[in-house]
Amino acid sequence: MTSQTRKVTHVAAGILINADGQFLLGSRPAGKPYAGYWEFPGGKLEQGESAQDALCRELNEEMGIQVKQATPWLTQRFNYPHADVEIHFFKVTAWDGDIHGQEGQALSWQTVGRLNTSPILPANGPILRSLALPTQISISNVAELGLDNFLKQLSEKWANEAAWVLIREPQLPANEYAHLVQSVQKIARPHGGKIIIHRDIELARQLLIDSIHLTSNQLATLSERPSGMDWVSASTHHLADLQQVDRLGLDFAFLGHVNSSQSHPTETPLGWNAFAALCQHGWRFPIFAIGGQNQTTLSTAQQHGGHGVAILRAAWQAGLAA
C-alpha cells in the first residue's frame, strides 16, 4: 500500500510541564517500533475516543497519574514505515498522583533547549523547537513612547529576561527603521533576548538577524519560505492565511486582532470564539493571539487553543518620562 492510501493512526501525547518549567520524556519500551527512542508519553486513540480522553487514559496507563489540566497545543503528521500518524499534542500542567513508568520505560525531566536524551522520535523535532518559543512576544512601540524611552525600556527588559521583541514601526521610513534596528542591536542581551524584523527581509539579511515577521499581504504573495532565516512568522486574520503559513512551513503565526485595541479602533475584532475556531484546525505551528493582549490574557489565549500572546502597548510602561 502507498503512504497516501494508508489509514491515519490518531495519537494523543502529553507534554507534562513541572513547576520548574521542565518537560517530561519517556523512552519507548522494548518490543514497540522505535524502542529506546524518546517520546512524549501517550498513545493511540481507541475507536470513538476523543484525543483528550485518550490522553487521560494513556497517561494513567503508562505513568499512573490522573490528568487535571490539559490544553490542546500542536498537531503533527508523520509517515513512519510502520504507520502514518497524526499526533495531537497537549500541554499538561496539572495532575494527581506520582509519576511512575508502568511499562518499564525510563522517564526523564528535560530543560527546553538543553536536551540530554537521544534519540528522539523523528516526528518530534519540530515539537521540541516550538517548545523553545516563549509564550509572550513584545511588539515595539517607538511610535507612542519615543525613541529614547523605548530603547531605555527595552534595555531594562533584556537585562531581566530573554524577551522576544518584534521591531514593528510602520510609520518609519526604511532608513529610520534600519537605524532603529541597529540601535536595538547595540543593547546587551545577557539572557539571550531575540530581535524579530518586521517585513524587511533584505534588511534582516544585511544586519545578520535571523528572525523575520511577514505582514499578511507578504504572506499571501510569497511562494516559499524566505531562505536563511531561523524563525519566520506571519500575521494572519483568516483561515486562508493560516493555510498559507502551513503551506510555506513557517514557524508561528499571530492571529487577530482578537480584542479591540487602539491600533485597530474601527475594525471588528475576531473575539475569542472565532480565535478558538481558527486554532482548532490542528495546526502544526503555534499561534499567538494579538490585539488588546496583555500579561493577564495569556491563560485565556491558551484556553482557546493559542500558544501565547503578542503584546504591544502593555509590554511597555506608557507613563515613563522620555
Ligand X SMILES: Nc1nc2c([nH]c(=O)n2[C@@H]2O[C@H](COP(=O)(O)OP(=O)(O)OP(=O)(O)O)[C@@H](O)[C@H]2O)c(=O)[nH]1
Give the three cell numbers for residue 115: 536536551
State the Cα–Cα distance between residues 164 and 153, nearest whole angstrom.
Answer: 14
Residue 85 vs 270, nearer CB to ligand X: 85
Task: Please give the residue ranges that form the binding site for Mg ion (CB under 5 A).
Answer: 43
Give the three cell numbers for residue 295: 500579561
Closest distance of CB 102 from Mg ion, Å:
11
State the Cα–Cα distance between residues 230 and 265, nearest whole angstrom.
Answer: 34
Q: Which does 297 bind (CB under 5 to 8 A by kind): ligand X, Mg ion, none?
A: none
Residue 58 vs 251, nearer CB to ligand X: 58
Kindly report the length of the chain: 322
Residue 43 vs 269, nearer CB to Mg ion: 43
Q: Are strands 211-214 and 194-198 parallel, antiparallel or unpaired?
A: parallel
Cα distances (angstroms) measured from residue 244 to each of 227, 231, 239, 311: 16, 16, 9, 23
Residue 64 vs 190, nearer CB to ligand X: 64
Residues β-bridged to residue 280: none
Residue 78 vs 231, nearer CB to ligand X: 78
Q: Do you find a cis peptide bond into 257, omega within 30 degrees of 0?
A: yes
Q: Do you find a cis peptide bond into 88, omega within 30 degrees of 0?
A: no
Q: What are phi and psi of 274, to 5 degrees?
A: -70, -35
Q: Any idea of the CA torsion for 240, 246, 248, 251, to the nearest 10 degrees?
A: 120
Residues β-bridged to residue 31: none
Closest distance of CB 86 from ligand X, Å:
9
Residue 80 vs 231, nearer CB to ligand X: 80
Residue nearest to ligand X as judged by C-beta position: 43
Residues β-bridged to residue 44: 11
Residue 14 vs 292, nearer CB to ligand X: 14
Contact present, 253 and 285 (Cβ < 8 Å): yes
Closest distance of CB 88 from ligand X, Å:
10
Specify whether the backbone of 18 is left (phi greater than 0), alpha (psi in -120 to 50) or beta: beta
Closest distance of CB 80 from ligand X, Å:
6
State the Cα–Cα distance between residues 114 and 30, nearest whole angstrom.
Answer: 26
Q: Which does 87 bind (CB under 5 to 8 A by kind): ligand X, Mg ion, none?
A: ligand X
Closest distance of CB 83 from ligand X, Å:
5
Q: Which of 13, 166, 258, 310 binds ligand X (CB under 6 A)?
A: 13
Q: Map the footprint of ligand X across residues 33-92, applying CB under 6 A.
A: 33-34, 39-40, 42-44, 58, 78, 80, 83, 85, 87
Q: Which does 80 bind (CB under 5 to 8 A by kind): ligand X, Mg ion, none?
A: ligand X
Contact present, 205 and 227 (Cβ < 8 Å): no
Q: Which does 13 bind (CB under 5 to 8 A by kind): Mg ion, ligand X, none?
A: ligand X
Give the three cell numbers for residue 168: 514593528
Q: Map the footprint of ligand X across residues 104-133, applying CB under 6 A.
A: 121, 123-124
Closest distance of CB 189 from ligand X, Å:
32
Q: Which does 275 bind (CB under 5 to 8 A by kind): Mg ion, ligand X, none?
A: none
Residue 12 vs 287, nearer CB to Mg ion: 12
Q: Which does 83 bind (CB under 5 to 8 A by kind): Mg ion, ligand X, none?
A: ligand X
Interface residue list for ligand X (CB under 6 A):
11, 13, 32-34, 39-40, 42-44, 58, 78, 80, 83, 85, 87, 121, 123-124
